[in-house]
Structure 1
Amino acid sequence: MATGWAGDGAVQDQIDATIKDGIQRVRDQLPRGPSLKRCEECDAKIPEARRKALPGVRLCVPCQEEHDKEQGVSSGYNRRGSKDSQLR
């Protein structure tokens, strides 16, 4: 199959790099250090069970949910819409 200028395995290399970048982005967002006893946003008490379950937690559940909504979903590059995939 002719692939133009792309070398063998280039598509798989791109997929692997995208996955690796996504994993690193999520790992960078994980909390670190000791958990807070009070939410840094609203000053509500963070339950001990949450602090034990998620070391480094800084937000209460409602504030964390709001934070997650604001972050949104980052899908990265959409391969299905690429010109290459439409030509196959």
Structure 2
Amino acid sequence: MVCPFDRAQALEQRQRDQAIAAQLASARPSGPSRTHCEDCENAIPAARQALGGMTRCVPCQSIFERGGQR
């Protein structure tokens, strides 16, 4: 008989693996980055710009990914 905790752990691991795979499969931004955030107009750090396709500073991108909730 399989322990319910083992089944729950296996399900959680499977869901985590699917979420990671979905995130890795999503398209990454490409092209030139902006020098200033499109939301707050603060400067985007050079290290972030080097990633390519960045349009928001880290705080604004975090808010955007959460669905605009503060």
> What TM-score, normalized to structure 2?
0.57
Gaps of 5+ in 1: 1-21, 72-88
Match in the other structure for 1:64: 61
The CA deviation at 1:51 is: 0.9
Structure 2 runs not aligned, ≥5 long: 1-21
- Per the TM alignment, residue 33 of structure 1 is displaced from its structure 2 partner at its CA by 1.4
Out of 33, 36, 46, the position equivalent to 2:34 is: 36
Structure 1 CA distance, aligned partners of 2:30 and 2:52? 7
Higher-Rg member (1/2): 1
Q: Between the two proteins, what is the percent identity of the paired residues?
A: 40
